[in-house]
A and B are shown apart, each in its own frame.
Chain A
Amino acid sequence: MSSSTTQAPVARAVASTGGQGGDTRESLSAAGRVGWLFITPNLVGFLAFTLLPLLAAIAIAFTSWNVVSGYSGITFVGLANFAEALGDGALWAAVGRTLLYAGIGVPATMMGGLGLAMLLNRDIAGRTLLRVVFFLPHVVSSVAIGLVWLLLLNPDSGPVNAGLRAIGIDAPPAWLVSETWGLPSLVLIAVWSAIGYNAVIYLSALQALPVDLYEAAAIDGANAFRRFTTVTWPALMPTTTFLAITMTISQSQGFGLITFLTQGGPGEATTTVSYFMYQQGFQFYRFGYAAAVGMISFVGVLLLTSFFWRFQKGRGLYT
């Protein structure tokens, strides 16, 4: 700081004459300027692309507006969008499907991940390579994954159904194009993609567990099941909570895979809340309604995750 070196004699002079405030205030404001200079690029972007859109999303939820009416056609409608949402049977059906989708998908992913992690935590051959294999779907584009599953699950010629027919199942499911199996197929693909990620998170938590706990449990004569329920599971509670929250958010808010694979169909069999919102906003251009649905869905997820948070309190090993 060249400025402070040139000012120093003056400041000393001021200090020696009994005035103290001048120097500190001045250097504070100089430091303040530096702070603002450093933060400004990010802050401008944050205001423009996060905070402003967030406030706008809240405001839009109270308006009626579509792309045809233009910006002058935005009208304030109060709670009308929220009232419409409450009475919208299609939305509530989508809520049910989302609860089913996440309600099966999230626990299945987490339990599968924990099982894999416990397996990988043992002394097994080729552990590093296995970790790469299980984790790979997580780093790969969801569209590439969707594309391969679209072909694998093709009802007529796909290898999955060819295999099922070979073992004597004459009428295998039509998977993604079936009313009954559409949603389970999507859950299957989502679980398949995320299980390795969950396994890796659980694995790193398992590796951080203190060995002496297990030794103590072994001395007490606890069998493998007791060791799991009394030591492993409580000690993993923070990890479980973290995964429950992030998985719930990602599985309930994402609409990419559904848009690509089923477009919410057949019929509305795979229309979840997030796809419903995408449809209202970007296919029907009902921006006001889409924003209201998005807010309702977000508040719902928030309530759900705060429930997880409360549930785990007092059940962990270290709380």
Chain B
Amino acid sequence: MSTLQTAGMRHRRWRRHGGKLGASLLAWALALLFVVPFLWMLSSSLKRNIDVFSLPISWLPDPVHWANYADVWIGEKSMVTYYANSLIVTLTGVAGDLTTSAMAGYAFARLKFRGRDKIFLLYLATAIIPAQLLLVPRFMFFQQLGLYDTLWALILPGVFTVYGTFLLRQAFAAAPDALGEAARIDGANEWQVFWRVYLPLVRPMLAALAIISFVSTWNDYETPLVMLTTPSNFTIPLGLTTFADSEGGISAGLAMAAAVSALVPVATAFVLFQRQFVAALAHSGIK
């Protein structure tokens, strides 16, 4: 009886370990499908253009050709301007979005004023409108304001988002009422109640919104495509496309160096804060 039992247990344990090994191998094999394009990008960025497509693929570039990065950063087709523009647009946009969304979200959740619920309903009604539908009128609008082909055309729509307002409203609404009442009794004014009492409570949601806003602004390609024409105003995604007419291997190495340079900030931030990133973006349902 006891031998039978141990045999059965051993069998089960073997099955479990075998299952774990099999599942792990399968998962890592699938992971290759997602890693290989990035590895190829990185490897090609360090090759001379004529070596990028040589067969068999040599994953370790020999010789290591750093010149692509030199060209991309200090050469004729420098990305520095695109980088600077992307930084300006993203940092201003994220800061602005957090500020206006936090204030409006707080008002919707915790302050009573006439028309509040009707306005919030209006916000909600526009939440599912895809940005693409608004491109034509925004284009006209910015042309009228003289902001077409300036960074303002990218920054302004990102500063006032229905999405951010909604997210923070939900966070503020979940906070307890008693804290604010106690602070008011202690003589705090409305701004202090917001700034000192409730804002610290929603810090996790602010971080999530910052991540979502950062990723979507940094990667946005469609808005600059429509709003910008002057290369010196381009942000990184649009700037990257200027490396694309180089198909056929003429400057494939250069293009890959540009692509690697473009994704380093987001990819680094992602690897460092991956748990927060995944939680925030999984929550958002948008890119």
Residues of A within 8 A of B (CB): 1-2, 5, 28, 31-36, 38-39, 41-46, 48-54, 56-57, 60, 71, 116, 119-120, 122-126, 128, 130-152, 154, 156-159, 162, 192, 196-197, 200-201, 204, 242, 246, 249-250, 253-256, 259-260, 274, 277-278, 281-282, 287, 290-291, 294-295, 298, 301-302
A249 touches B37 (CB 8 A): no
8 pairs of A and B residues whose beta carbons are closest in the complex: A45-B160, A35-B113, A42-B104, A56-B137, A38-B107, A53-B137, A35-B111, A32-B113
Q: What residues on B are CB-neighbors of A201 within 8 Å?
A: 282
Q: What residues on A are CB-neighbors of B281 within 8 Å?
A: 135, 138-139, 197
In the bound assembly, the distance between CA atoms of A162 and B58 in angstroms comes to: 14
In the bound assembly, the distance between CA atoms of A80 and B27 in angstroms comes to: 54
B282 touches A204 (CB 8 A): yes
Q: What residues on B are CB-neighbors of A274 within 8 Å?
A: 132
In the bound assembly, the distance between CA atoms of A20 and B190 in angstroms comes to: 24
- Taking residues whose C-beta sits less than 8 angstroms from the other chain, chain B's interface range is 35 or more
Q: What residues on A are CB-neighbors of B99 within 8 Å?
A: 41
Instruction: Indicate whether A147 sits within 8 Å of B26 (C-beta atoms), given known contacts A39-B119, A42-B100, A122-B20.
Output: no
Provide the main secondary structure of the chain B interface: helix
Instruction: Indicate whether A256 sits within 8 Å of B159 (C-beta atoms), given known contacts A43-B104, A56-B141, A147-B259.
Output: no
Q: What residues on B are CB-neighbors of A200 within 8 Å?
A: 278, 282
The answer to the question of B53 belonging to the interface, with a C-beta cut-off of 8 Å to chain A, is yes
A136 touches B130 (CB 8 A): no
B259 touches A157 (CB 8 A): no
In the bound assembly, the distance between CA atoms of A197 and B33 in angstroms comes to: 15
Closest beta carbon of chain A to B213's beta carbon, Å: 13
The answer to the question of B4 belonging to the interface, with a C-beta cut-off of 8 Å to chain A, is no
26 chain-A/chain-B pairs, Cβ below 8 angstroms? A1-B188, A1-B189, A32-B114, A35-B111, A41-B100, A43-B119, A46-B165, A49-B160, A53-B141, A56-B141, A57-B133, A57-B136, A119-B26, A124-B23, A128-B274, A132-B274, A133-B34, A135-B281, A138-B281, A141-B221, A147-B255, A147-B256, A249-B128, A282-B139, A282-B225, A301-B130
